[in-house]
Chain A
C-alpha cells in the first residue's frame, strides 16, 4: 500500500517535470528589448517569435511553368518572387502578394496554398497616354501591370492595384487562375489642383464608401482621393511641416525679403507619407518615412483628415528613440509600413533595423521584435510591408523574397489581453494579467502603470504609490498620494486635533507661568537642553537607519 503511494507520487513528479520542460520555448536569435520610463533600451521578453518563413517553394510557384497546371503562364515565367513591394490580407483571409519585379499578383490562402497568379489584366477600356517626370509621353501597357507597388482588396474580393509605372490604379476581379478582369481604371486627375506631371502611385486604400485613396511620392498634399465613380475628390490629410530651425528662419525672412528673394527661398513643404492602413472602423492610419521625424510620423485620421491619435506628453516618438552610428553609417528609424490589427494594435515596420514596433491604440509602446540580420531566420534585408491576421504578424521581405510569420508568445498574449482590459478602464480585471506580465518582465512599463491603477481602484493607495513610482509616472503617483493622505487624515483626525490642542495649551501655560515668574529661566534652559539632546539622539538614529536602508523608503 505504502509502496504504491510512493510510486504514484514519483510518477506524478516525473510527469510534472516533463510538462515543465515542454513549456520551454525556442530562443530567438536576437535580444528583445523595450523602453523604460527614461527611454533607455532595456532587455525584455519576446512578445512574438518566428513560426514560419515562407518562400515561393512553400507556395508552389513552380506551377507557373507547368503546362498541365491551371496556374500555367509561360515556360519562361520567373518562378521565384522578385522584389515584392507590398502584400495584403483580405477580410476573407486570403493573402495577395504584389510581385513587383514579375508584374503579377500572387494570391494564397492563410496556409500559403496557391489560389491564383494574376498576370493578365484584360478589359482595359481605352488606350491611355501618360507623361512621366521628364515630360516623355508613353502608352499604358493596358493588359499587363508594370511594376505594381501596392494593393488593397475589399470584402467582395475586388482588387485595387497601384500600377506604378503605368501610372494608374486598376480595379479588377479575379476571372481565372491567371487573369483578372479590369472593372475600372483611375488615372491622373485632370485638374489644376493636381500640380505634379506624373502619377507614380505606390500605395492604394479603399474605405467602406468605396472612396479610393492613393499615395504618390511626388505629391505632398496628402493622399489623392477618388470617389467610387473615378472622379477626383481632393487631397486627404496632409502632414504638417516639421518645425525646424530652417523653417523658422525662412518664415522670418519672408517678412522682410522682397518678392524675388522670397521666390528663391526654399518652400517649407510637408513630407508625404509612405504608407497607410485602414481599420475596421474606417480610421486611416498613416506612417511617414523620414529619419527621426517627430511631426506626424504616425497619424490616425478621421474621415475629415484630422489626426485624432491620442498622445501622452512624452510619447510622440515612434520607432527607435535614438539613431545609432556604426562603422560610419547612421542607422535611424525609417518607418515604412503600418498595420492595424483587428483588436487595434498598431504595428509599425522600421525599414532600417527590420524591427516591428507594436503600440496599443493609445500609442503606448508594447513590444519590439524582428531585426536586420538578413542571413538569419526572422531577420530582414528589405522589409517592405507588414500585415496582421488574428494574433499573427506577417512581414514581407523584398530582397529575401520571403514572408516571415510571427506568432505570439505567452508573454505577448498576456500583454495583449491585459492592455485590452486596461484601455477599457477595467483595471481590476487586468490586474492578474499584468502580474503575470511583470513576473516575466519586471520592468514592463505598461505593466507597472496597470498594476498601479488597479491597486488605486482597490483603495490600496500605498501599493499604487509604489508601482506608479516604479513606473516613474508622477501624475498617477500624485493621485494615489492624495488619496492616501486623505485616508490618513480621516482615520486619525481626532488624534491630530487633540495633539494640536495639547501643544497649544502647553505653550500658553508655559508663557503664563513665565510671566508670573514661576518658572525660572534656568529651568527652561535645561528643558530646552533635554529636548535638544533628544533631537540629537533621534538624528543619530535616523542617520543609522539611512545608512542601513539606503535612501529611506
Chain B
C-alpha cells in the first residue's frame, strides 16, 4: 500500500479502512482542515437537501412554503463545532493525545458516509413508493451507523485510547455538548435582556428629549 496519497485520497482511504485508516492518517500526519470544513459544509447542504427535497410521499413537509434554515444550521454546523470543542476539552483532561485540529479533521472525515447516505436516500426517494420505504431507511441507516463506527475509531486513533475509554469519553462528550448548548442559550437570552434594557433606556431618553 502506498501511503503518499493526495488529501482527497486520504478521505477515501479512511472511509474504507475504518479500523486502520485513522491510525495510518495519524502516522502520516495527513488530513486537511480545509477538506474537513468543506465536509461540514456538505453536511449542512445534505441536511438542507433532505429537508427540502425528496419524493412527495416521503417528505411532504419539504413542499410547504415555510422553511427555516436556523434549526438545520444548528443541527449541522453548531453540533459539529460543539462536538469538537467538548471532545477536545474533555479528552485533554483524560490524557488524550489529540489536539483540536486533529479532533476537527477526524470527526469531519468520519461524517462522510452519513452525508452520502443522506444525499442518496433523499435522491432515491424520488423513485420509491411508500411500500418500498425500507430502501430509503436502509440507505440512511447504513450511512449513519457507518459514520458512528468511523467516529469511534477516529476518536480512538486521535487520542490513542483503548476501546472502552473511547466509548466513555464519547458519551461524556455528548453530555458536554448539551452543557455547552444550554450555556449558549442562557447567554443569548441574557444578552437579549441586556439589549432590551438598553433599548428601553434609549427610547425613554428619546421621549424626554422630544417632549
Residues on A facing B (Cβ under 8 Å): 38, 465, 469, 472, 474-475, 477-478, 481-482, 485
Contacts and interface: CB of A to CB of B under 8 A. Distances in A.
B63 A472 contact: yes
A481 B56 contact: yes
Q: Which secondary structure dominates chain B's binding surface?
A: loop
A474 B56 contact: yes
A478 B130 contact: yes
Q: Which residue, of A38, A475, A482, has the highest number of chain B Cβ atoms within 10 A?
A: A482
Contact of B56 (A38, A477, A482, A485): A477
Nearest to B55: A481
A314 to B, nearest CB: 12
Contacts of A478: 57, 129-130
A515 to B, nearest CB: 21
Contacts of A481: 55-57, 129
Contacts of A474: 56-57, 60, 130
B64 interface: yes
17 contacts: A465-B56, A469-B56, A469-B63, A474-B56, A474-B57, A474-B60, A474-B130, A475-B57, A478-B57, A478-B129, A478-B130, A481-B55, A481-B57, A482-B129, A482-B131, A485-B127, A485-B129
Q: Which residue, of B57, B60, B64, has the highest number of chain A Cβ atoms within 10 A?
A: B57
Interface string B158-178: 000000000000000000000
Given A472-B63, A478-B130, A481-B57, 20 more contacts: A38-B64, A465-B56, A469-B56, A469-B63, A472-B60, A474-B56, A474-B57, A474-B130, A475-B57, A475-B130, A477-B56, A477-B57, A478-B57, A478-B129, A481-B55, A481-B56, A481-B129, A482-B131, A485-B127, A485-B129
Indicate the size class of the contact surface on chain B.
10 to 19
Interface string B108-134: 000000000000000000010111000
A477 B59 CA distance: 12
Contacts of B130: 474-475, 478
Interface in B31-84: 55-57, 60, 63-64
B178 to A, nearest CB: 25
Q: Which residue, of A465, A469, A474, has the highest number of chain B Cβ atoms within 10 A?
A: A474
Q: Which residue, of B55, B63, B127, B129, has the highest number of chain A Cβ atoms within 10 A?
A: B129
A91 B117 CA distance: 65
A474 B63 CA distance: 11
Contacts of A38: 64
B179 to A, nearest CB: 29
> Considering the complex of A and B, which 7 residue pairs feature the smallest CB-CB distances, nearest first?
A478-B57, A482-B129, A474-B57, A478-B130, A474-B60, A477-B56, A478-B129
Q: Which residue, of A469, A472, A475, A481, has the highest number of chain B Cβ atoms within 10 A?
A: A481
Contacts of B56: 465, 469, 474, 477, 481
Contacts of A472: 60, 63
A544 B63 CA distance: 21
Nearest to B60: A474
Contacts of B57: 474-475, 477-478, 481
B134 to A, nearest CB: 15
Contacts of B60: 472, 474
A361 B125 CA distance: 35
A324 B67 CA distance: 25
A478 B129 CA distance: 6
A485 B56 CA distance: 14
Contacts of A465: 56
Contacts of B64: 38
B2 to A, nearest CB: 16
Nearest to A483: B129
